[in-house]
Structure 1
Amino acid sequence: MAFEPPQRLVNALGEVRDDGASAWLARVGTLLDEAAARREVTVERVHVPGGRSGLVAHVRRADGSPAVLKLAPERFRPEAERAALTHWDGFGAVRLLDPGVNDGALLLERLHPEVSVRTLPEAKALLEAAGTLRRLWVEPPTGRNCETVPERTGRQAVAVRASVEAFPEVAPLVDAALEAREALVASAPELRLLHGTFRQSKVLSGERMPWLAVGPDPVVGECAFDLARLVRDRVEDLIGSPSGPAITRRRVKRLAESLDVDQERLRGWTLFRAVESGVRALRVGRERDAENLLEFAGWL
């Protein structure tokens, strides 16, 4: 299939500076054709704007039923996603339709990508997103299918610390974030299978259930880590509001109480994840995103 990859994906893979991802992008049309032929599906169209970590195509199965074929480079751990989706088996998450094929592509039930929880009013969106997230927090599968929170955040902590020399102005926030992480990983209260990159836009409308999560980057660890990304959803709206700091503190409290998560642990992981994302945005030149994230982190 001849096509131009969505620009959003091209830009995102350009930021990661990974030769493997670049090679994957150069071959993605061929990879899509091969994955479709292997599953005996017909490609209808590539979803645009699509995601930042993989290619999503609308396809038809041999019986005419709609589905989605998702391809991702190895650095985005498509086989860890496969393992998590297999374990959830459609409970709270999009259903995997080809659990036995391990080639970096996933055949998934088709949802409604134009209707995410983010399209709802904010209070309703947070409620529905939190309810979806709760369903995903289950005992992890046996065997080692994905990273742990200490492993993932350990790698991130090294990169954040190394960035201080280039961006000395962020040193106080980095110190606070790394100190919070050290305390948190020393005493995790539970081990659950987590979505890993959960936010409102990752919850789509479906036929089988009203809302289903998509696009996990699964990790095993404590629930507060997963919930932390949801705290900063619509961060640009928070930054634009004179009540942003107060709204953020109320959101931490409300989400912690509604999902039985320790409030201080949620605050700590929210701080670490916001600083890590903000520093990463600085490194790749997304200055506006970095400013928003680091200002948000300062409120915590």
Structure 2
Amino acid sequence: MIQIPETFARRTIDREADEGRAWLACLPHLVDEILERWSCRPTGPVRHGQVGVIIPVQSVQGTDRASAVLKVSFPHPGNVHEPDALDVWGGRGAVRLHKRDDSCFALLLERAGDGTLADLDDIDEAMAMAGGLSRRLAVQAPPGLPRLGDRTAEWEDDLRKDAERLPRSLPPRVIQAAIATVRELGRDHPDTLVHGDLHLGNVLRAEREPWLAIDPKGYVGDPSYDAITLVRSRWDALSGALDLKAALLRRLTIFADAAELDRERVRRWTQARAVMEAYWGRDHGDPAWLVQASDHIAESLT
């Protein structure tokens, strides 16, 4: 039976309260049941992300899944379409999906390496690699996935309400620029599969391909939506720049060109999402550095 990491258990209870506590109590038995059903045995210690545990496993049947990982996540809405996206990609730029049990939020996945794009010393290289990967992941989306364009009215309404509720958090011109982007570009989304959380830490070094994406949200829309999570990665390297705007635009330009996206759309979506992230972070207790990063990005790109 697995040992649940203490840090993961504490964060889950802090975030999900009694529901999280109840899920954690059942998790070791759930993992054992899935391991037996999928004919796997653990081969290493349990690791974890924000909402799930990851267990390195080996197939006892000696199949092509001889080296894999079992991922079991808390039943969170943000994870519902992860297997759908991975299934569509079929290993193209992302880890392969071997098995899924949607009722348990359980996935048997290809095992990649330990290093990530965030480990690269050259941030320009990391942004270029992420952009190239984004281009490869930008395929026709299947039906049934959540469409970013359907959230336009909600986003605009939230931005206006947040500006009234927190009037001194960001300058009015910054808010208005974000609202304009949502209104003007929000419904103009292509039918493209979007990762939804493509930060540098969600791209793993691998052998089958140099880099493979993990943990997609599975949206339909403009891949420019993903730029905010990339540009905010390795914030420590940006925060000390003498010219923050120039440094931000350099990162975005490298990403946009590698992803074959329009530079101005990337800039506008990054600015708008930074405003939304700044407000969301204030409401949900994000670390101070993360809220400040969103503030600086929103103002610098206005």
**TM > 0.5:** yes
Cα displacement (A) at 1:266: 0.9
Q: Could you tell me the percent identity over the aligned residues?
A: 31
RMSD between aligned residues: 2.6
Cα displacement (A) at 1:90: 0.4
Listed one character per residue, the Cα deviations across residues 154-187 of structure 1 (whole Å, up to 9, x for unaligned) are: 5555555554455332253444323321211132
Listed one character per residue, the Cα deviations across residues 225-276 of structure 1 (whole Å, up to 9, x for unaligned) are: 1334323322232112222221112222332233221222111110122222
Point out 4+ residue stretches in structure 1 off by more than 6 angstroms.
Answer: none
User: After the TM superposition, which of the residue ranges 160-169 and 254-263 deviates more from structure 2?
Assistant: 160-169
Listed one character per residue, the Cα deviations across residues 50-94 of structure 1 (whole Å, up to 9, x for unaligned) are: 311222111221135221111122324444111111111101100
| Distance 1:9-1:134 versus aligned 2 partners, 3 A rule | farther
SS at match of 2:4: coil
Paired residues of 1:57 and 1:68 also in contact (CA < 8 A): yes
Q: Which amino acid aligns with 1:235?
A: W
Aligned residue runs from structure 1 range 100-115, under 5 A: 103-112=104-113, 114-115=114-115
- In 2, the alpha carbon distance for the partners of 1:168 and 1:153 equals 22
Aligned residue pair count: 294
Cα displacement (A) at 1:206: 1.4
- In 2, the alpha carbon distance for the partners of 1:25 and 1:174 equals 40
Aligned residue runs from structure 1 range 164-243, under 5 A: 164=163, 167-171=166-170, 172=172, 173-188=174-189, 190-243=190-243
Aligned residue runs from structure 1 range 281-300, under 5 A: 281-285=281-285, 286-300=287-301
| Distance 1:105-1:155 versus aligned 2 partners, 3 A rule | farther
Q: 2:50 aligns with which of 37, 49, 52?
A: 52
Q: Match for residue 41 of structure 1?
A: 40
Question: What TM-score comes out, normalization by structure 2 length?
Answer: 0.86
2:57 is the alignment partner of 1:71: no
Residue segments in structure 1 that go unaligned for 5+ positions in a row: none
Residue segments in structure 2 that go unaligned for 5+ positions in a row: none
Listed one character per residue, the Cα deviations across residues 187-231 of structure 1 (whole Å, up to 9, x for unaligned) are: 23x220111110111110112111110010110011221334323
Cα displacement (A) at 1:107: 0.3
Q: Which amino acid aligns with 2:205?
A: S
SS at match of 2:99: coil
| Distance 1:104-1:158 versus aligned 2 partners, 3 A rule | farther
- In 1, the alpha carbon distance for the partners of 2:164 and 2:6 equals 34
